[in-house]
């Protein structure tokens, strides 16, 4: 009954690209994402245009628009015999009115409130790792980031178009308009200081479980699919991914977390290094006791833990039944390797399953 009854378009119909001229910042990200060069952005002339006959409705421009001013209308472009080029004039952006600077004694939260998040682009230098991802993402090259010989983060406010692409790309959330990120930093620090006081008993129990001695970027190789997405996301090329191998140069790694965000298998994590001085400092009275006492206590704890005891028994049963190892030999192997002690120190090892653990002892 069309056109008497208007057509009802499906929810994901890809029709014509439309633009909200008030939100456009003329960054050009849409033009660079367009595979058919159907979009043209003129910053000097403040115009945005699209050639409808060249557009293939791929939605690439919409997905890559930093200010999200592009949309896919469900209605298709009307048919015609001429090539249609829609050209839009982009109104100049109004600069935020300068407000009185807050007093030096005022807290950072009040300083951010004075800008209301509409001020110039700022960087929280306390959390910034100078990875350079923001500078690479900037469509107008308004950022200058260097790590060597000295750490530099600079923004050219005259060139910055406030598209927000750098803020979305920052792995540490150090960038903001008007200093919002810098205002949140003291709150996060205060919260971090309060947590140790409230959770001291829990932390002591965590120490007993023995966290990994070596900190930095860690990879669960068994879960890794070796896709290389982490290596591509690393701004300092600290990660190497080969056929079944994953390595990281921890001297080069800046611990920005960009690789963790891009990992599709969620097998990367950032671990804190255990302080080397903690072990001696915790046991000043251990000088009087023999050095072998902690090692003797570990097996007792293993026997008292039903989970560990059951897991070890399951591994032993698999070695005997599936791998045809004598029961006495299997028991000797597990004791020699100190499997029970390892499970107490690292309980997460039991997540791999007894069958996987048994393979290492077959």
Fold of 208-271: Alpha-Beta Plaits (3.30.70)
Cβ neighbours of residue 104 closer than 8 Å, sequence gap 6 or more: none
What size, in residues, is the chain?
362
Residue among 21, 6, 7 nearest 71 (CA) = 21
Look-up: residue for tokens 């009307």? 78
Q: For the chain, which residues make up each domain, given as ranges?
A: 17-89, 108-185, 208-271, 291-359
Cβ neighbours of residue 316 closer than 8 Å, sequence gap 6 or more: 327, 330, 331, 334
Q: pLDDT (tens digit, 9 = 90+) per residue, 243-275?
A: 778 899 888 888 888 898 888 888 898 887 655
In angstroms, rounded to a whole number, what is the distance separating the alpha carbons of residues 362 and 359? Answer: 5
Low-confidence ranges of the chain (pLDDT < 70): 94-118, 180-214, 273-304
Q: pLDDT (tens digit, 9 = 90+) per residue, 345-361?
A: 777 777 777 888 888 77
Q: What is the pTM of this model?
A: 0.45
Fold of 17-89: Alpha-Beta Plaits (3.30.70)
Please write down the long-range contacts of 243-250, taking CB distance under 8 Å and 24 or more positions apart: 246/219, 246/221, 248/216, 248/217, 248/219, 250/216, 250/217
Residues 94 and 162: beta-carbon distance below 8 Å: no
Question: What is residue 112's predicted lDDT score, i.e. its pLDDT?
Answer: 40
Residues 170 and 164: beta-carbon distance below 8 Å: no
Question: What is residue 208's predicted lDDT score, i.e. its pLDDT?
Answer: 46
Domain 108-185, CATH 2.120.10.80 — does that match? no
CATH topology identical between 108-185 and 208-271: yes
């Amino acid at each position: 009954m069309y056109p008497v009854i208007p057509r009802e378009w499906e929810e994901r119909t890809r029709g014509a690209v439309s633009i909200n001229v008030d939100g456009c910042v003329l960054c050009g990200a849409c033009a660079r994402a367009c595979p058919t060069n159907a979009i043209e952005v003129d910053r000097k002339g403040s115009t945005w245009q699209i050639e409808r006959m060249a557009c293939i409705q791929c939605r690439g421009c919409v997905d890559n628009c930093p200010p999200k001013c592009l949309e896919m209308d469900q209605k298709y472009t009307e048919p015609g015999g001429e090539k249609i080029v829609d050209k839009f004039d982009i109104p100049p952006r109004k600069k935020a009115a300068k407000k009185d600077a807050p007093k030096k004694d005022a807290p950072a939260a009040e300083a951010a409130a004075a800008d209301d998040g509409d001020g110039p682009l700022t960087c929280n230098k306390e959390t910034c790792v100078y990875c350079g991802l923001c500078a690479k993402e900037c469509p107008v090259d308004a950022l200058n980031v260097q790590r060597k010989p000295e750490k530099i983060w600079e923004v050219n406010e005259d060139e910055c178009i406030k598209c927000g692409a750098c803020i979305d790309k920052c792995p540490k959330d150090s960038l903001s308009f008007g200093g919002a990120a810098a205002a949140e930093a003291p709150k996060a620090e205060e919260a971090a200081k309060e947590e140790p006081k409230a959770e001291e008993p829990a932390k002591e129990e965590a120490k007993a479980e023995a966290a990994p001695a070596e900190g930095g970027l860690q990879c669960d190789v068994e879960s890794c699919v070796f896709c290389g997405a982490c290596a591509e996301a690393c701004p300092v090329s600290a990660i190497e991914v080969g056929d079944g191998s994953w390595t990281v140069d921890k001297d080069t790694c800046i611990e920005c977390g960009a690789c963790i965000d891009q990992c599709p298998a969620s097998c990367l994590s950032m671990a804190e290094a255990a302080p080397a001085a903690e072990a001696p400092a915790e046991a000043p009275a251990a000088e009087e006791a023999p050095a072998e006492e902690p090692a003797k206590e570990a097996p007792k704890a293993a026997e008292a833990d039903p989970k560990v005891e059951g897991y070890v028994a399951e591994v032993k049963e698999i070695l005997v039944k599936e791998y045809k190892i004598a029961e006495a030999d299997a028991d000797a192997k597990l004791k020699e390797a100190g499997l029970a002690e390892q499970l107490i120190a690292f309980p997460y090892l039991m997540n791999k399953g007894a069958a996987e653990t048994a393979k290492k002892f077959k």
